[in-house]
C-alpha cells in the first residue's frame, strides 16, 4: 500500500505515540525573523561566478517570518505520520529517504492536520516544504561564502556527510556541526525537496522569498547535496532539478512551519 493511502487511513486524531513525536518535531523548529536581531531582511541568493543555474545572483527581501526544522525529517517521525518507512537505510533517527516530491508534500499536509488536532500549531499555520529562497537564506545563516562555515572545502568534514566521508545514509540526524543558526545537515547528508518548479536560471526569479513557479512543473528543485556527492554540490547556492517522481536513498526533506498564504 502506498504511503499516501496509509496516510488517509490514519485517524485525524493523533495517538499518544504520534503526539509525543510531533511535540519533539514542533520543539525543533528554529524561528526565522528577517529584519530582527541577527536576521538580515535581505540577502543575495545564488552566485555570480557559479553554474549558470545559480545566476544571476539577485537580492531577495523577506517581508514575513517563518520557522524551519533544525533537522531533516527522521524516519520515526515519518512512520508516525505516514504509517510506513520507505527508507533503504533504516534507523529511527536517520533521515527518511526514498520519497517523491508528492509524497513529501503528503507528509507535510498530514503533519499539519495532526499537529492542529493536537493543538501544537494554530489553525492558520501549516507544515510545508521550503521555497528555494527560504532554504538558501537559512542555510547561509547570514554568510556570503560558498558554505555556511566559509569557503574552504577542507572544513566540510566537520559539517556535512559527502562522498569523501560517508558510505551511506547511516548516521542519525545532527551528527555533524550545525550552521550559525543551529541547523544541521544543510551541507550534504540528503538532498532536500523545495517547492519551486525547475528553472534554468534566476533571470525571472521572485525577489520576495516566494516559490518560483515559472519553470518546469514536472520537475522540482533539490538543495543541500548528499552523502553521494562531492564538495562542489554541497555549497549554499547549488541547486539540482529532478523529476517529481524521483525516489532515491540520497533524497529526503526538511520542513517549514509558517502561516498559510
Task: Identify the domain containing residue 46 by its residue range.
Answer: 3-259
- What cell numbers appear for 67 in the block? 520557522
Tens-digit pLDDT profile for residues 170-221: 899 999 999 999 999 999 999 999 999 999 999 999 999 999 999 999 999 9
What's the per-residue H, E or C state across 203-259?
CCCCCCCCCCCCCEEEEEEEECCCCCCCHHHCCCCCEEEEECCCCCCCEECCCEEEE
Pairing of strands 239-243, 29-32: unpaired
115, 116, 119, 123 alpha-carbon torsion, rounded to 10°: 140
- From the list 146, 149, 137, the residue with the least C-alpha distance to 59 is 137
**Percent above pLDDT 90 for the chain:** 91
CB distance 70 to 26 below 8 Å: no
Tens-digit pLDDT profile for residues 117-173: 999 999 999 999 999 999 999 999 999 999 999 999 999 999 999 999 998 888 999
Tens-digit pLDDT profile for residues 94-116: 999 999 999 999 999 999 999 99
Contacts for 213 with CB less than 8 Å, ≥ 6 apart: 196, 197
Q: Which pLDDT value is given to residue 1?
A: 43
- From the list 215, 227, 221, 256, the residue with the least C-alpha distance to 239 is 221
Q: Cα–Cα distances in Å, from 68 out to 111, 116, 181, 197? A: 14, 17, 10, 20
Lowest mean pLDDT among 45-49, 107-111, 245-249: 45-49
**Integer Rg of the chain from CA:** 17
**d(Cα 145, Cα 163) in Å, to the nearest integer?**
21
Q: Which pLDDT value is given to residue 5?
A: 43
Average pLDDT over residues 20-38: 96
Pairing of strands 251-252, 191-198: parallel
**d(Cα 230, Cα 226) in Å, to the nearest integer?**
8
* Counted domains in the chain: 1
**Percent above pLDDT 70 for the chain:** 95
Tens-digit pLDDT profile for residues 190-200: 999 999 999 99
Q: Is the pLDDT of residue 50 over 90?
A: no
Check which CATH number belongs to the domain holding 149 and give it: 3.90.1580.10
The reply to whether the predicted model has a pTM over 0.75 is: yes
Q: Which pLDDT value is given to residue 22?
A: 98
Q: Which pLDDT value is given to residue 3?
A: 47
SS3 label, residue 195 = strand
Q: Is the pLDDT of residue 228 over 60?
A: yes
**d(Cα 221, Cα 58) in Å, to the nearest integer?**
18
Amino acid at each position: 500500500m502506498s504511503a499516501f493511502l496509509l496516510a488517509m487511513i490514519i485517524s485525524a486524531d493523533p495517538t499518544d505515540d504520534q503526539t509525543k513525536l510531533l511535540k519533539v518535531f514542533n520543539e525543533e523548529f528554529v524561528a526565522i525573523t528577517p529584519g530582527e536581531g541577527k536576521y538580515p531582511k535581505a540577502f543575495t541568493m545564488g552566485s555570480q561566478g557559479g553554474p549558470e543555474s545559480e545566476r544571476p545572483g539577485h537580492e531577495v527581501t523577506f517581508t514575513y517570518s517563518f520557522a524551519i526544522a533544525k533537522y531533516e525529517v527522521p524516519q520515526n517521525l515519518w512512520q508516525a505520520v505516514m504509517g510506513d518507512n520507505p527508507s533503504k537505510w533504516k534507523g529511527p533517527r536517520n533521515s527518511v529517504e526514498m520519497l517523491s516530491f508528492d509524497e513529501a508534500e503528503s507528509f507535510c499536509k498530514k503533519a499539519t492536520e495532526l499537529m492542529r488536532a493536537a493543538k501544537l500549531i494554530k489553525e492558520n499555520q501549516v507544515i510545508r516544504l521550503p521555497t528555494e529562497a527560504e532554504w538558501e537564506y537559512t542555510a547561509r545563516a547570514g554568510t556570503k561564502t560558498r558554505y555556511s562555515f566559509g569557503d574552504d572545502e577542507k572544513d566540510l568534514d566537520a559539517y556535512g556527510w559527502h562522498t569523501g566521508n560517508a558510505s551511506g545514509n547511516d548516521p542519525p540526524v545532527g551528527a555533524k556541526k550545525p550552521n550559525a543558526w543551529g541547523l544541521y545537515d544543510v551541507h550534504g547528508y540528503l538532498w532536500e525537496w523545495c517547492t519551486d518548479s525547475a528553472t534554468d536560471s534566476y533571470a525571472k526569479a521572485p525577489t520576495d522569498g516566494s516559490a518560483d513557479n515559472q519553470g518546469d512543473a514536472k520537475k522540482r528543485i533539490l538543495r543541500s547535496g548528499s552523502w553521494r556527492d562531492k564538495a562542489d554540490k554541497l555549497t549554499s547556492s547549488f541547486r539540482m532539478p529532478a523529476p517529481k517522481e524521483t525516489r532515491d536513498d540520497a533524497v529526503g526533506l526538511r520542513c517549514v512551519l509558517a502561516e498559510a498564504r
